[in-house]
Amino acid sequence: MFDDTVRTKLESYFTIGFVNTSGRRMTEPELLEVVQNADAVIAGTESFSGTVIGGAPNLKVISRVGVGLDSVDLDAASTRGIRVLITAASTVQPVAEHTLALIFYLTKRVAEYHESVRKNEHGIKQASLIRGKNVGIIGLGRIGSRVAELLSCLGCNIIFFDPFISRTPNPGWIKADSLDHLLACVDIITLHVPAQTGNIPLLNREAFNQCRKGVLIINTARGSLVDEKALYDALGNGTVAGAGLDVTIKEPYSGPLLQFPQVIITPHVASNTAESRSAMEHEAVEGLINALKKEYP
């Protein structure tokens, strides 16, 4: 899991009890076995359920290599006084770049052209410029803001919706009064918010009905934000011209959206670059060390 520098730093402070070298997500019974005596855990995508947390009586810190908290029972952690940390800074640039890659793939129809060439079909398809497009950014946190900055450099018009932002951070960007306002006036929609309470989708059938015909949908945030059946129907009737998804409700994805050549699906890898992975590991270790220093000064 760790490069030598990270492991050396960890070992200078702590005894490492276990490292997952299986290359897969651990099951709950496996996780219970390895965390039962742990004071702290550096976690990947494993599910830290109430059962797992309850089976680790010494646990003080969970430091996630990633930004999502869906896999941690926060109520159980809070009840026990366990600190839950994420590596927010390290994921910003790679996820923003992956978002742009999906936009480029869709606007330039890269995947469709590639598949045509593989089939020895050489017809010309209509691509489009990114410059001048109205891009709707839902969620203007660190990643959403970076996406807005990069797209601004390409000449896009930025319209964002974020009820937690009271002022416009860039005078050239427009703050939408409501989600419906944003949906009605953009050519590209990109999602950068956490999963909603109860995993209720933001982009459901009603939302797609508010969109301009031919809109592009990008999701590098959480799969539950998009109603996949509604997206399938919107692709079928032309409301949505294409979709770039790094996250889906069930992963790995093998569903009906793959029928559409104008849909790009990547397997939840937006933050997975060599540089960012190393940075996330370092950030997770630094967070864990600092948190345990407070627990054991």
Asked whether the beta carbons of 174 and 200 are under 8 A apart, the reply is no
pLDDT at 296: 61
Lowest-pLDDT choice from 120-124, 141-145, 160-164: 120-124
pLDDT above 70 (res 136): yes
Q: What is the mean pLDDT of residues 138-143?
A: 96
Q: What is the DSSP letter of 169?
A: S
Same domain, 188 and 56: no
Q: Are residues 114 and 175 in the same domain?
A: yes
Residue 101: is its pLDDT beyond 90?
yes
Kindly report, residue by residue over 162-212, the tens digit of the pLDDT.
Answer: 999 988 999 999 999 999 999 999 999 999 999 999 999 999 999 999 999
pLDDT at position 7: 82
Q: Which residue range is the domain that position 197 belongs to?
A: 92-265
**Looking at the structure, do residues 138 and 210 belong to the same domain, yes or no?**
yes
> Coil, strand or helix: which one is 113?
helix
Please name which of 77, 40, 42 lies closest in space to residue 59, comparing C-alpha atoms: 40
User: Across residues 213-236, what is the average pLDDT?
Assistant: 98
Q: What does the pLDDT read at residue 74?
A: 94
Residue 66 backbone zone (phi > 0: left; psi -120 to 50: alpha; other: beta)? left
- Domain of residue 188, CATH code: 3.40.50.720
Please state, in angstroms and rounded to a whole number, the distance separating the CA atoms of residues 296 and 291.
Answer: 9
Contact 49, 72 (CB under 8 A): no
What is the percent of the chain with per-residue pLDDT over 90, rounded to a whole number? 75
Non-local CB neighbours of 199 within 8 Å, separated by 6+ positions: 224
Q: Which residues are catalytic?
A: 222, 251, 268
Taking 80 as the threshold, does the pLDDT of residue 1 lie above it?
no
In the block, which residue shows the tokens 């220093």?
A: 293
Same domain? For 259 and 187 the reply is yes
Say whether pLDDT at 150 is over 70. yes
Q: Across all residues in the chain, what is the average pLDDT? A: 93
Check pLDDT > 90 for residue 59: yes
Whether 142 and 193 map to the same domain: the answer is yes
Residue for token pair 């359920």: 49
Residues 261, 118 within the same domain = yes
Determine contact, residues 184/212, Cβ cutoff 8 Å: yes
90 pLDDT higher than 80 = yes
- Percent helix, strand, coil in the chain (nearest 5)? 40, 15, 45
DSSP string, 50-73: HHHHHT-TT--EEEESSS--TTB-
- Cis peptide bond prior to 252, omega within 30° of 0: yes
pLDDT at residue 22 greater than cutoff 90: no
Categorize the per-residue pLDDT at 295 as very low, low, confident or very high, splitting at 50, 70 and 90. low
Instruction: Report yes or no: 230 and 208 within 8 Å, Cβ to Cβ.
Output: yes
Domain count, the chain: 2
Strands across the sheet with 83-85, in order?
40-43, 61-64, 83-85
| 22-26, 268-272, 277-281: least confidently modelled range | 22-26
Which residue from 224, 226, 272, 94 is spatially nearest to 216, judged by alpha carbons?
Answer: 226
Q: Are residues 168 and 114 in the same domain?
A: yes
180 lies in the same domain as 247: yes
Cβ-Cβ contacts under 8 Å for 106 (sequence gap 6 or more): 216, 218, 241, 242, 243, 244, 262, 264
Q: Cα(46)–Cα(54) distance, rounded to whole angstroms?
A: 15
Confidence of residue 297 (pLDDT cuts 50, 70, 90): low
Q: Do 130 and 257 fall into the same domain?
A: yes
| Predicted model pTM | 0.86
d(CA 190, CA 135): 8
